[in-house]
């Protein structure tokens, strides 16, 4: 699967020249994450899964909320969604078996039943191989027809289609017991069965049978893989243009790359939904506004922008202005996200662990973060897991030290190719990285790539690059969605990889299997231990920064909070003041 990249196309990250003078690099990580609230709160009960959602203080019905953004969503077909801005927006019109209730005050995210009466039952006697979900009574689509367990199964079935393979693949791979999940069953099209292998439906119950333990199934069920769809409403790839609603809003207008208007779905029953509200009359998405313009519009706070939510971080060129304006602080959404960005080292090409360790010591992360916009938007990273991950352990195996890097190179001057997205911002990043690494004795050759094909290029196993930036965010608050997707070498394929370091170690793969068999509670500290072991023993990447959200809303937007489970401005409790 491809990474969730928080809308930052590689090589097109929001970067500018350093803001202000750079302070002396002391070798620390350049910030503190001691006050970070990890995504935690665990799994709720059947009682927690009942609606309606808790009321939002001061909320009222009416008005329109405007989302201001540059580009259209990559996908809005629930089965194809794998980027967090679309994931958050889709909550307005799509429901899954499970979902999250976020508490911004405590930083806790409780998993609850959404369509289901609870978060699922392990009916395999504690083995985590068979999971059963029971749908709530009275669930309806936008046309008033009932939502059924068979519709959920059909949604899962269509996610097997090679033409709809853009979303997460967890459930499909678990059902097929193979990374190559659609080798045999390719979805409900061209004569394929409407019921995927391993899935059974009995009335309002749906059961998933796995050959191995998958104790994270309740979390995986929160993704669009389990969004329901009647076969009669399946328009295949065209569903992206007008999804069929099971949530509080439905599509009124969708002009690609221009505008989306959502209006209320009168058949949505708040009594069945513990997660969502329908306070605004409408949501309108206005596209075509770049990052500086979004920021300036939110600062000015005129007209309908008073009801606006920008869909990108504050532009780096305006971070200082925003942070220094006391009147804007109440309209800021800020905090850590799930994303860790790293300098991927192609382990197929750089096989000497001392060279990889030298790269870690040589990377001046503090200087690079100034290029990104400073500590408001990023913090130097040491681990593979984000500080928001349940069980996260803080460490820094390779504090900045040019002398240690030179010693590890032992007089050698490795010539390495650094690939980057060929944009103004990508060039600035490349210049900074080249300067940083060459101080330790590396020779860095810069190789520009078209930003539109960047991930395709670095996702090829046979790529000819030694170094390139990549990012990854957890799909739920567990190391199981961080370590295996990127560092399990058995995932490596000829192309389409997310294992960008191309790191494959039998001992690490074995430990991944062992930890995957544990419950979420027992596995959390084990993932953190493996995180540290991978970095200290093998150094397959250079963790560069922990991503932070730093964005503005209009003055008449209420109830908008940074999602603990999404790292994005949440819309389910938003209202117009």
Do 413 and 515 sit in the same domain of this protein?
yes
Asked if the structure places residue 292 within a domain, the reply is no
Do 272 and 356 sit in the same domain of this protein?
no
Q: Among residues 261, 88, 234, 246, which one has the least CA distance to residue 158?
A: 234
Asked if the structure places residue 131 within a domain, the reply is yes
Task: Compute the distance between CA of residue 73 and CA of residue 83 in angstroms, rounded to an integer.
Answer: 9
**Residue 193 phi, psi (nearest 5):** -70, 145
Concatenated DSSP letters of 183-220 = SS---SSTT--SS-TTEEEETTEEEEE-SS--TTHHHH
Concatenated DSSP letters of 459-500 = TSTT---SEEEEEEE-SSSSGGGTHHHHH-GGG--SSS-S-T
pLDDT score at 221? 98
Asked if the structure places residue 39 within a domain, the reply is no
* Among candidate residues 251, 266, 281, the one where a domain is terminated: 281
Do 513 and 377 sit in the same domain of this protein?
yes
Do 196 and 264 sit in the same domain of this protein?
yes
475 Cβ contact partners less than 8 Å away, ≥ 6 residues apart: 4, 168, 170, 219, 220, 223, 481
Instruction: State pLDDT tens for residues 461-509.
Output: 999 999 999 999 899 888 999 999 999 999 898 887 889 999 999 999 9
Do 237 and 382 sit in the same domain of this protein?
no
pLDDT score at 4? 38
Is 128 within 8 Å of 212 (Cβ atoms)? no
Instruction: State pLDDT tens for residues 159-190.
Output: 999 999 889 999 999 999 998 899 999 999 99
- Ramachandran assignment for 301, one of left (phi > 0), alpha (psi -120 to 50 degrees), beta (any other): left
Asked if the structure places residue 329 within a domain, the reply is no
Q: What is the mean pLDDT of the chain?
A: 91
Residue 341 forms beta bridges with which residues?
Answer: 471, 545
Do 271 and 341 sit in the same domain of this protein?
no
For the chain, first and last CA: distance in Å? Answer: 40
Is 93 within 8 Å of 265 (Cβ atoms)? yes
CATH of the domain at 202: 3.40.190.10
Full pLDDT tens readout for the chain, 577 residues: 343 343 343 333 332 222 222 222 223 333 444 445 545 557 899 999 999 999 999 999 999 999 999 989 989 999 999 888 999 999 999 999 999 998 877 777 899 999 999 999 999 999 999 999 999 999 999 999 999 999 999 999 999 999 998 899 999 999 999 988 999 999 999 999 999 999 999 999 999 999 999 989 999 999 999 999 999 999 999 999 999 999 999 999 999 999 999 999 999 999 999 999 999 999 999 999 998 999 999 999 999 999 999 998 998 889 999 999 999 999 999 988 889 999 999 999 999 999 999 999 999 999 999 988 899 999 999 999 999 888 999 999 999 999 999 999 999 999 999 999 998 778 999 999 999 999 999 999 999 999 878 888 999 999 999 999 999 989 988 899 999 999 999 989 888 788 999 999 999 999 999 998 888 788 999 999 999 999 999 999 999 999 999 999 999 999 999 988 888 999 999 999 9
Is 166 within 8 Å of 156 (Cβ atoms)? no
Do 241 and 167 sit in the same domain of this protein?
yes
What are the angstrom distances between the C-alpha of 163 and each of 176, 187, 189, 197, 207? 18, 10, 10, 19, 25
Task: Compute the distance between CA of residue 15 and CA of residue 429 in angstroms, rounded to an integer.
Answer: 8
pLDDT score at 83? 84
Task: Compute the distance between CA of residue 481 and CA of residue 475 in angstroms, rounded to an integer.
Answer: 6
188-191, long-range: CB < 8 A, 24+ apart: 188/154, 188/157, 188/158, 188/161, 188/231, 188/234, 189/158, 189/161, 189/236
CA dihedral 43, 44, 45, 48 (to 10 degrees): -170
Q: What is the CA radius of gyration of the chain?
A: 23
Domain range for 476: 335-549
15 Cβ contact partners less than 8 Å away, ≥ 6 residues apart: 316, 371, 372, 373, 425, 428, 429
Asked if the structure places residue 40 within a domain, the reply is no
The verdict on whether omega for the bond into residue 136 sits within 30 degrees of 0, i.e. cis, is: no
CB atoms closer than 10 angstroms to residue 62: 10
Helix (H, G, I), strand (E, B) or coil at 522: helix
Length in residues, the chain = 577
What are the angstrom distances between the C-alpha of 571 and each of 311, 437, 559? 12, 42, 8
Asked if the structure places residue 494 within a domain, the reply is yes
Asked if the structure places residue 181 within a domain, the reply is yes
Q: Among residues 526, 76, 33, 84, which one has the least CA distance to residue 339?
A: 84
CATH of the domain at 458: 3.10.105.10
Q: Among residues 107, 52, 23, which one has the least CA distance to residue 338?
A: 107
Do 193 and 126 sit in the same domain of this protein?
yes
pLDDT score at 84? 87
Asked if the structure places residue 298 within a domain, the reply is no
Do 377 and 440 sit in the same domain of this protein?
yes
466's tokens: 């030694």
Do 386 and 453 sit in the same domain of this protein?
yes
pLDDT score at 40? 54
Helix (H, G, I), strand (E, B) or coil at 344: strand
406's tokens: 């030179």
Helix (H, G, I), strand (E, B) or coil at 327: helix
Do 340 and 415 sit in the same domain of this protein?
yes
* Among candidate residues 281, 296, 316, the one where a domain is terminated: 281
Provide the domain count of the chain. 2
CB atoms closer than 10 angstroms to residue 403: 9
* Among candidate residues 255, 281, 307, the one where a domain is terminated: 281
Beta-carbon-side half-sphere exposure of residue 412 (alpha carbons within 13 Å): 12
Burial class (CB in 10 A: 0-12, 13-18, 19+), 346: buried
Do 368 and 465 sit in the same domain of this protein?
yes
Residue with tokens 């040589």: 362
Instruction: State pLDDT tens for residues 213-233.
Output: 998 999 999 999 999 999 999
């Amino acid at each position: 699967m491809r990474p969730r990249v928080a809308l930052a196309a590689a090589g097109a990250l929001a970067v500018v020249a350093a803001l202000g003078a750079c302070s002396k690099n002391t070798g620390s990580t350049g910030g503190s994450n001691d006050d970070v609230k990890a995504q935690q709160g665990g799994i709720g009960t059947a009682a927690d899964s009942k609606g309606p959602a808790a009321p939002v203080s001061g909320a009222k019905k009416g008005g329109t909320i405007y989302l201001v953004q540059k580009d259209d969503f990559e996908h809005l077909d629930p089965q194809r969604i794998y980027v967090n801005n679309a994931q958050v927006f889709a909550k307005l019109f799509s429901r899954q078996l499970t979902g999250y209730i976020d508490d911004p005050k405590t930083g806790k995210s409780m998993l609850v039943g959404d369509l289901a009466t609870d978060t699922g039952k392990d009916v395999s006697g504690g083995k985590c191989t068979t999971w059963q979900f029971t749908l709530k009574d009275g669930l309806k689509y936008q046309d008033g027809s009932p939502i059924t367990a068979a519709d959920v199964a059909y949604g899962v079935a269509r996610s097997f289609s090679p033409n709809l393979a853009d979303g997460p693949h967890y459930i499909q791979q678990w059902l097929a017991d193979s990374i190559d999940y659609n080798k045999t069953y390719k979805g409900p099209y061209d004569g394929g069965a409407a019921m995927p292998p391993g899935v059974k439906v009995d009335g309002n119950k749906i059961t998933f049978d796995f050959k191995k333990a998958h104790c994270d199934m309740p979390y995986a069920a929160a993704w669009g893989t389990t969004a329901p769809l009647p076969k009669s409403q399946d328009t295949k790839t065209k569903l992206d243009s007008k999804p069929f609603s099971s949530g509080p809003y439905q599509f009124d207008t969708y002009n690609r790359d221009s505008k989306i208007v959502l209006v209320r779905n009168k058949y949505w029953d708040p009594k069945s939904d513990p997660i969502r509200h329908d306070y605004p009359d409408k949501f309108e998405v206005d596209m075509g506004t770049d990052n500086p313009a979004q920021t300036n519009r939110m600062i000015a706070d005129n007209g309908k922008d008073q009801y606006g939510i920008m869909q990108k971080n504050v532009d780096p060129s305006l971070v200082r202005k925003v942070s220094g304006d006391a009147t804007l602080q109440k309209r800021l959404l800020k905090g850590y996200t799930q994303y860790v960005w790293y300098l991927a080292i192609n382990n197929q090409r750089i096989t000497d662990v001392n060279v990889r360790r030298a790269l870690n010591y040589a990377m001046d992360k503090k200087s690079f973060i100034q290029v990104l916009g400073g500590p408001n938007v990023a913090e130097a990273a040491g681990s593979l897991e984000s500080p928001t991950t349940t069980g996260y352990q803080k460490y820094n195996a390779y504090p900045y030290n040019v002398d240690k890097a030179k010693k590890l190179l032992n007089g050698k001057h490795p010539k390495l190719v650094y690939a980057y997205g060929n944009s103004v911002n990508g060039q600035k990043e490349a210049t900074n990285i080249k300067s940083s690494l060459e101080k330790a004795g590396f020779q860095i050759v810069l190789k520009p790539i078209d930003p539109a094909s960047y991930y395709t290029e670095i996702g090829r196993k046979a790529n000819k690059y030694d170094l390139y930036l990549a990012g990854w965010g957890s799909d739920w608050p567990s190391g199981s969605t961080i370590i295996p997707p990127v560092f399990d070498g058995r995932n490596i394929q000829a192309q389409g990889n997310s294992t960008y370091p191309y790191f494959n170690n039998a001992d690490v793969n074995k430990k991944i299997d062992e930890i995957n068999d544990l419950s979420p509670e027992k596995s959390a500290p084990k993932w953190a231990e493996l995180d540290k072991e991978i970095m200290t023993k093998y150094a397959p990447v250079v963790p560069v920064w922990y991503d932070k959200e730093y964005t503005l809303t209009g003055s008449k937007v209420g109830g908008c909070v940074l999602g603990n489970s999404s790292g994005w401005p949440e819309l389910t409790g938003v209202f117009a003041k």
